[in-house]
Structure 1
Amino acid sequence: MHAGYNANAGRFSQIKDDLAASESAIQQLEGSSNDNADQYKFLQEMRGYVGDLLECFSEKVPAVLELEAAMHQLLRQRASRLVQRRQDDIKDESSEFASLSNKAVMAPNLDSFGRDRASYQEASRQRRIAEREARRTRRRQAREQKVEGAEHREGLSSDDEETSTDITSFNMERDRIIRDSRKVFEDVVEDFHSLDFIKSHFEVWRREYPDCYRDAYIGLCLPKLFNPLVRLQLIAWNPLEEPCPNFEYMLWFESLLFYGFEEDSALQKGDEDIGLLPAIVEKVILSKLSVLAEQAWDPLSCSQTARLVAFIHRLIEGYPTVLHGDNRYTQELLKTIVLRIRLTLDDDIFLPLYPKNVMENRNGCAYLFYQRQFWTCVKLLGNILQWDGILSYSCLKDLALDSTLNRYILSALQTTDIGEENVQKCQKVVECLPVQWFSGLKGQQTLPQLEPFCRYLTHLASSMHRGSVGGSDAERRTTKEQIRQIVRMLGRMNALDHIIAVAEEHGVKDIKLLLEVKS
């Protein structure tokens, strides 16, 4: 009997434990059921909200894209108008001097209305001449007021002055686009167009149901979802112009900067939301830069080039995960920049070749036109070399040295008389070359692409020395100083073999001191 009692007591104790465990399980399941019900309800609400949001975007995004395209077209038209005017000016001046030697009387060329084409073409040309000279006069007067005694070379300034009519027309269309951009979502409640309101829904999802949020890959979807709203705020943004607001101070950036951030929680490795802003910079900022570089940027404009280069350097420093050679959007941007530079080299660079008797008249229009075109080439060389550190080394050497220096500048130097002016021109060319190109060179030779230029400098020194023989003491001293200047130029390019040759031929004694100036 005692044994039976013990068995029943043990069974009773087991039943009590099982009952307690069952009650605990029931409570857990009831709580889980409530949580699942809440999560299900939330997801159903999010499903409805996202569906309505996408329906709204399907109606409004085409309007955003249309306004963005209208702004880009406006910028493209202005840039094309200035480039076309520059090309027309070059054609006018080059044809003017070519026609001086041809005064033959030709039969009139009549159009379908019986008008002499040459007459109204000449009238258009005379109008362009008057406008061109007026712009040059205004630029010269502006320089004289700003800097007294500063030497300026015609061709180094950018002829980007617009007529009051063009400025008014541009500003009116720009203001219209901006006004229309503010009206795109005026008939939509904030819940469907305000970044703060939209992101708040997803922040609740992330905070309350993080596993579900992560499993739905919301972090990968948000950049595309926010894309049209960011582009709408960037319609008037143009880093080629001043003033241009820093996009990191714009409302969209400040709104998304701390998305998903919680003070009491640490960042998780692999959290997709960390890459939200870099993804927007990649897909929106870089894409817009590519369009502006192709349609609005003028590689011959020093100010535009400096602004674009500085902005890309800032992006490289601030967004290294986006701005790198393996990124598709970065590759597209750099390819666009290179193609735009090549187009400028092919269409906007022209160096005329005139007989010696024409070039002897230094006050003549032909000589001044030649000088202006030469310095335009030097300006483009400097603008191209601003891309050092952004474009690849090989690409930059091809654009700057092969396609600009050797193709145009060096050819022009070789076809003109030797003189002090050539030394000054070469000095400007050397000043454009990045110093870091030569700091790591070993041996006595410079870059292969610079060998022709160095040989020209050696020839220039010899020619100037021969020209000074029999001259006055002052002329010989001037020539000697110019030869020393040539040696310094060669030293800056690490052309030690040419330095030795020039020094031995012309008795330059302080080579070591000149070489120390190389860096």
Structure 2
Amino acid sequence: LQSALVSLKEDAAKVKRDVSRVDTELKLTKSELEKHEQALNGMNKQYLFYQTLRDKIADCLDCLNTKAPLIEEAMEEMKELRLSKAKAIRRLQDLHIRDEADAAFEKAHDVPKEKQVDEFGRDIGGAVEKGRQARAELRKRRRAKLGIEKLGSKEEAFWTEDEAELGAQYAERRKRLLEDVKAIFLDADDDFKTIDAVKEKLEQLKRRYPQAYTDTYISLSVPSLFAPYVRMELMNWRFLEHPKFEAMEWYNKLAEYGMFGDIKEDDPDLDVIPRLIEKVVTPYITDFFFTEWDPLSSKLFPAVSSLVKEVLDHVDGKLPNPQKLLSTILDRYSHMVNVHSKVPIVPEKSDKLDAQWTFCQFQWWRALKLLKELLRWKNILSAEVIRDLSISHLIDNMVPFLNKEMKTKPIRVNLVIQLVKEIQSTLPQEWLDNKGPAKKLRDIVKEYGRLCSRSGVSTKNLAAINSLLR
């Protein structure tokens, strides 16, 4: 009996241990079940959130697929509007120069004016002459406005065409276009009517499910989702008045997009603004430089140079779009240098009172203006390209008139000294060595000094000429 009792006690202890183990396992199982239930509830919530977000994004994409083409079409229309305005201004400038060149040089050759007729044989010469007279009156008013009495002056050459005559119609069309653009999103759902609404949805996803946000590469699509809203604001952006990107609402709203939680250095959301500037803003600015921008405008330089610096501060300048922006600026200057060389720059007559001399002197001042504006870009654009283009312009479009002036009597020492000093003060100091353009300039000044000495020019004037060589 004693032995049986011991055995029973051992069995009871074993059962007790088994019960304790089972109880522990039950508790663990219950805990695991609770965890799985919580996970399941979380997954259900995540699934419902994903479903809702998917539907919202699908609706947003449908909306943008409808609205984006309208915005791009409006931007293209705005570009065409700016281009047509720019062409009208450039044509008017070209006609002013052609009128005065024709008046000076055709008269010298006694070129008879042929009767101009249209395809039906009707005389259109009257209309052409009427346009010429209207432009002459416009130049007369311009000179009166600037207080210019002497033709061919530096003041007139340095003046750049304003937009008063052509701006009214452009402003009205632009206003109507912007009103149409403003109405594009009026019928859109509140969840994607503004950039704020889209940003809120995307940031909500990143906050709640950062890993899913990363794994699905949503960051790569974010700039494309924001782009239509950025384009809309660009069309209203008065960048010549406010050239900084921070003047735009989209820039400030997206400046800290996705910047919460544990941000890593390689987080693609850090590049949202640079990518928008590269892909959307830079092409828009490039269109402005190609169409409306006047390379001769001193007044515009602070704003336009600030624009270019803003782009280069945000985007690698070696990327295709920034490169196109920089090359567009250089191309505009190169084109102007080329066009300038096709207009008479040296008078054919020896009489310095002739209209040819007045016109060519005006063109020389105009060439100087172009050189000054070009050189203002030397610390922003390629210094080597700027130097080559500047020297080419100086040698081809400015030195010939200076040479002619020096070799033709009567001698006008004061004018020559003024022209040479203008060149010397315009060129960078590092260019004024004994090589290149400076050497050519010194050579013709030396020759001029010898000519003046033989012609009995006063000692005072000879000293002034020699001072140019120092």
Alignment TM class, shorter chain as reference: 0.7 to 0.9
| AA at the equivalent of 1:343 | H
Could you tell me which amino acid in structure 2 is paired with residue 415 of structure 1?
A: K
Larger displacement relative to structure 2 (105-114 or 390-399) = 105-114
Of the structure 1 ranges 118-127 and 293-302, higher mean CA displacement relative to structure 2 is found in 118-127
Answering whether residue 429 of structure 2 is matched by residue 422 of structure 1, we say no
Amino acid at match of 1:400: S
Distance 1:194 1:110 in 2: 57
1:25-69 residue CA offsets vs partner (Å, 9 max, x unmatched): 222222211111111111110110011111111221222122222
Question: Structure 1 residues 187 and 230 mapped into 2: Cα distance closer, same or farther (>3 Å)?
Answer: same
Q: Who wins on radius of gyration, i.e. which is larger?
A: 2
Paired letter, 1:252: W
Q: Is the 8 A contact 2:70 2:184 kept in 1?
A: yes
CA contact (8 A) 1:203 1:259 kept: yes
Question: Which stretch of the first structure deviates more once superposed, 121-130 or 4-13?
Answer: 4-13
AA aligned opposite 2:381: L
Q: Given the alignment of the two structures, is residue 294 of structure 1 paired with residue 290 of structure 2, yes or no? A: yes
**What is the aligned partner in structure 2 of residue 408 from structure 1?**
397
- Note the C-alpha offset of 1:307: 2.4
Q: Check conservation: 2:346, 2:400, Cα contact below 8 A.
A: no
Counterpart Cα distance in 1 of 2:283 and 2:209: 34
Instruction: Quote the offset at 1:189 in angstroms.
Output: 3.2
Q: Is the contact between residue 94 and residue 352 of structure 1 (CA under 8 Å) also seen in structure 2?
A: no
Q: What is the aligned partner in structure 1 of residue 339 from structure 2?
A: 347
Are positions 1:157 and 2:159 aligned together? yes
Partners of 2:194 and 2:378 in 1: how far apart? 41
| Aligned counterpart, 1:394 | 384
Moved more, 33-42 or 205-214: 33-42
Rounded Cα–Cα distance in structure 2 between residues aligned with 1:112 and 1:469: 60
- In the alignment, is the contact (CA less than 8 A) between 1:351 and 1:412 conserved in 2? no
Question: TM-score normalized by structure 1?
Answer: 0.79
Q: Which moved more, 1:300-309 or 1:72-81?
A: 300-309
CA contact under 8 A between 2:115 and 2:125: conserved in structure 1? Answer: yes
Structure 1 contact 465–479 (Cα < 8 Å) conserved: no
Aligned: 1:267 with 2:250: no
SS of match in other structure, 2:186: coil
Query: How do 1:333-344 and structure 2 match up within 5 A?
Result: 333-344=325-336
Letter in 2 for 1:248: E
1:41 to 28, 40, 48: 48
The answer to whether 1:476 aligns with 2:466 is: no
Q: Is the CA contact 2:433–2:439 (under 8 Å) kept in the aligned structure 1? A: no
Q: How far does the alpha carbon of each residue in 1:141-167 deviate from its partner, in whole angstroms, 9 at most, with x for none?
A: 7x9xxxxxxx9543111123432xx33
2:372 equivalent to 1:382 = yes
- Structure 2, unpaired ranges of 5+: 1-6, 408-412
Note if contact 1:230-1:252 (Cα within 8 Å) is conserved in structure 2. Answer: yes
Sequence identity of aligned pairs in percent? 25
Question: Which residue pairs with 1:135 in the alignment?
Answer: 142
The alignment status of 1:284 with 2:280, answered yes or no, reads: yes
Instruction: Give CA deviations for 1:217-240 in whole Å, capped at 9, x if unaligned.
Output: 22221111010111111113243x
Preserved CA contact (<8 Å) 1:256 1:277? yes
Q: Quote the Cα distance in structure 2 between the aligned partners of 1:209 and 1:112.
A: 72
Q: Is the 8 A contact 1:469 1:476 kept in 2?
A: no
**Change in CA separation of 1:217 and 1:74 when aligned onto 2, cut-off 3 Å:** same
Amino acid corresponding to residue 199 of structure 1 in structure 2: K
Give the structure-2-normalised TM-score: 0.87
More deviation in 13-22 or 183-192?
13-22
SS at match of 2:147: helix
CA gap of 1:385–1:452, structure 2 versus 1, over 3 A, is: closer
Flag the 1:422–1:12 CA change in 2: closer, same or farther, 3 A.
farther
Q: How far apart, in 2, do the equivalents of 1:388 and 1:221 lie?
A: 38
Question: What is aligned with 1:502?
Answer: none
Which residue of the other structure, out of 68, 92, 98, is the alignment partner of 1:91? 98
Distance 1:88 1:411 in 2: 24
